[in-house]
Structures are given as C-alpha cells and as structure tokens.
Amino acid sequence: MQKLLLLLLTLACGAFAQQRFDILIRGGLVVDGTGADGYRADVGVLNGRISRIGVMPEATGERIIDASGLVVSPGFIDMHNHSDQSLLEEPKCESMIRQGVTTMVLGEGGSMGPTRETDLPWKTLGGYFDYVEKKGVAANICSYVGQTQIWTYVKGEAIEPADDGDIEAMKSEVDRAMREGAMGLSTSLLMPPSSEIKSEQLIELAKVASQYGGIYSSHIRDEGAGVFRSIEEAINVGKGADIRVDIIHMKIADQQFWGQMNEVIAMIDRARREGYDIRAHVYPYNAGQNNLRAIIPPWAHDGGNEAMLARLRDPEMRKKMRHDIINGLPGWYNHYTAVGSDWSRMLLVGFSNPKNKPFIGKRMSDLIAARGGDGVEVLFDVLLEENGSVRTVYFHHDEKDMLYALKQPYVSVGSDGSAISMDGKYAATHPHPRYYGTFPRILGRFVREEKALTLPDAIKKMTSMNADKITILDRGLLKEGLRADITLFDPDTVADKATFENPHQYPVGIPYVIVNGELVLDNGKHTGALPGRVIRGPGYQP
C-alpha cells in the first residue's frame, strides 16, 4: 500500500511539475505586494489567473518570459486617475500601461454618471461601465461616483446652498451609483459649485456610500492656508459617516506652510488611534495641475463658465476680482498667493487659441512679459481668449513634505494623470509629467537613487494598499488564485523620462505588463490587446 501511495504521489507531482501554462515567467525576483522581501521563483499564469508560484523546472508555457534580472510585481493600481474620457479615445492606455499600471481608479469629483448630456450613449455610471466593457480597454477600471457630478446633476451650475430636498435627491443618486458598482463617494471641494456643500451634508451623502461598503475619497477644500481645517473636515466625515477616508494627493500647497506636514500627519495619526480608518495617497512631484480659472474668486464662477466670462468683460467686476486675487478671501484657496504671487511658478500647458499656442510649455511670466502690462489684467484677457480655460501646472508644494507623507504606513501612490499616448489625440497637448512617469519615478528615483523607500514597501504602496482601500479582493497581490495582473521591471534601470518641459516621453525599464492573463506590453511593445475589465464595488447589484 505504501509503495502504491508513493507511486501515485510521484505521478501527481510529475504531472504538476510538467504543467503547461498560458504564460510562464521564469526566474524573476517575486515581490508579492505584501511588503515582504522578494524571492526567486517562477510564476505560472493560466486562464487569466495566477495558477502557481514556485520553482518549476519542468513546467512549460505557450509563452515563456525569461525574467532574469527583473522584478515580478503585482500590476500597479493607480489610486487617482483621470482617464474617464481619454480611455474612450485611446483605449490602449499607453502612458499608463507603460508605467506598469493595470488598474485605474476614476471619478474624482466629476464622474461619468449620472449625466444629463444628451449626446452620450449612457446616462448613469452603470451605463458608462457597460459602454466601456463593450468598447474594450487595455487596463482595468473602477470608479467613484463624484459629488460634483451629483451636485450639478441635481442643481446645475448655480452657486447656492443645497436645501434638504436637494440633499435627498443627491443621496438617491449616490445610492443608485453604489448599486451600479461605484467604489464610493469622491469629492473635489476646491472649486464651485460643489464647494458650496456643507460638512454635515457631506456626511449624509457619505453615509449612503458607507451602507454599501464604499469609501469616501476627498480632494479637500483647501490645500493651502486652510489645509488643517480641511484635513479635519475629511476626518470628521469619516467619523460622522462611519466610512473609510482616502485623502486625495495629500499636500501642503502654499509655501508659507511648507515644512508642516508633520502636523497634518499628527492629525491623521490621532484619528487612527481613536479607531477611524483615515488614509491618503500622494504623487511624487512638487507641482499640481489645475486651471488658470482657479485664480478667479469663487463668487465669479456663479452660474457657470458663460457667467464668469461675462464678468471678465465687465470693468467693474474685473476690479473686484483683481482685489480678491491679490488680497485673498476667507476660506478660499488662492492659487496665486499659494505660489508666492509668482507668475513664473505657473506652467501653461493648454491653449486653444492659435495666438496663444506658442506659449504652451512656457511660464505665465513669459506670456505677461510678451504682452506687457499688468499680470492680473493679462490673466483676465487670456481667459477670455481661451473661453475660460487654460490648463496650468502650479509649482506650489515641497518635495520634502511629499516624502514625509509618502513614508507613512497608510499613504499610497496615485498619479492624478490620464492614459494618453505620444502619437494619439492628446499628443499635441502639454500634460503634467505624471501622466507618463508617476510609478517608475517612485521605483527609479525614490527607491533606487534616494533610498527613501524600500522596494517591497514601494510596491506595496502601489498595489495591495490601493486594492485594500477600495475592497478589490482578487488583485493587488501575487498570490495563487488571484487575477493575473502582473508588471515586470528592471530595478537597475526603471526610470521616468517625462519632464515638465518635455512630458510626452515613455518610461524605461518596464518591458512586460500582463492584464487578466494577457500580455499587453511585450518586451516593450504594446500588443494592442484590450483585456481590461470593469471592477465594480462591494455594493454592486447586477
């Protein structure tokens, strides 16, 4: 009997060792996303899942990848991504796939549903999900429902308080979106009209998301002089709604408060010790992107873009706006004063008017010098010429503060970028370099060069920490049985190449990316495959 059992065991082991996989990754350093040190192993992918991890000398595969010298990591999960629209136009998602990103979390403030736009083939967030699945996309996606989206869906663009009836209507829309698969509620409280919502009303909306297991992801009201009260508000929403909180791209974006990130972290630590689940993420740059119109005081946005443009044509309104820009307003995050009233710390990255296009990639100070005259008046004129919108990078926060935040055990990574390409629809634009470089920048600069993070910790912050935040149960780790989202990179060469001056540059050192068991990046070349899926949240009700 013992001989028979031994024979059967030997045959079984032999059959397993000779297993044939769809993809066999041989000899890489497996860093599994848990934060543990890496180890040498083979990884077998079969039917879209990680079938086996171990030493498998007899195994073979339809495709064998020699991973000698490479790190084998879970695919990166971008906690804060703005590809909601761009992925419809560039479904290959090259600037994200080439960074190793396999999942993009969409829907900050403004989500793709609910919507009243008549020219779209969907009306709800769930309808958008269905549309993306039919169209195809290279990376996985999931989305929050945006508070700005819901606010304008219910109230329009008017800057006025929401009454009880408005809030009940908004709660109904949160409820519907959560059942359609939203990951939670996301806010962008910096700009009107959604900035009009009160803290107690935010709590009421967040309670709905909490009932379905969702989270509250917040671009806080003020990242400058009001950063401390804004962080406190996010924490209070978490407490009041009994919901996990993720603070979007946490920073101190006003030079007079640089060096005080330790105080922000102390606030979060205190709440966490009290039992509240408060987290955050950052991007690894010292500049953020918004719009020149963000310099216009909040009251001047009342009624939407056309109303703002009408005020910009009114000499008396211009005088009032000028006063508020230079002197500030209580409770308003003023982008102009946040960069020390220095026009040279504003990089202009998007014009539509041909007369202004030569200044794409130039500083606002260059444009002012070319025109002559007062900077604020030039600002008003340019916004009129550009129909109220000029995408702008603001150099408003400090790298030391960013790194201090990044090192905290509950702070992960998100790009705040979009999936575009060097030769697609957006090639003529001048985006923030984070569109192309966020994740390799972490690995190249902050792990290899500066040793600010260990490799296992950095990978955890880009994978399992983000999956855990939004309750993605089958991704974010290299573990047998989970979905095969896998990124392979060379730890000695991985680096971002995109710069503020020349952003359209793909990173180096990431030769292979696998999404749902399919090679999307193969030896540095995009295969054209679109195996991405919509990942629906914990409240999803088919």
* DSSP character at residue 303: T
Closest of 435, 436, 433, 442 to residue 411, by C-alpha: 442
Given a cut of 50, the residues of the chain with pLDDT beneath it are: 5-17
C-alpha pair distances (Å), 209 with each of 111, 172, 184: 15, 11, 5
What pLDDT, on the 0 to 100 scale, is given for residue 157? 86
Token pair listed for 130: 């269905």
Structure-token match 């935010």, residue found = 202
Q: Answer for the pair 490, 70: CB distance below 8 angstroms, yes or no.
A: yes
What pLDDT, on the 0 to 100 scale, is given for residue 3? 52
What pLDDT, on the 0 to 100 scale, is given for residue 15? 47
| pTM flag (> 0.85) | yes
What pLDDT, on the 0 to 100 scale, is given for residue 229? 97
CA distance 391 to 347: 9
Spatial CB neighbours of 20, under 8 Å, sequence gap ≥ 6: 59, 60, 61, 62
What pLDDT, on the 0 to 100 scale, is given for residue 196? 93
What pLDDT, on the 0 to 100 scale, is given for residue 1? 53
What pLDDT, on the 0 to 100 scale, is given for residue 2? 55
E strand or H helix at 525: strand 525-526
Residue 137: what are its φ and ψ, rounded to 5°? -155, 150
Token pair listed for 116: 């009243």
Domain boundaries, the chain: 290-394
What pLDDT, on the 0 to 100 scale, is given for residue 192? 87
Instruction: Write out 305-363 in H/E/C secondary structure.
Output: HHHHHHHHCCHHHHHHHHHHHHHCCCCCCCHHHHCCCCHHHEEEEECCCCCCHHHCCCE
What pLDDT, on the 0 to 100 scale, is given for residue 158? 85
C-alpha pair distances (Å), 91 with each of 88, 144, 333, 526, 533: 6, 20, 35, 12, 12
Cis status of the peptide bond prior to 114, with omega within 30 of 0: yes
- The pairing of strands 39-46 and 346-350 is unpaired
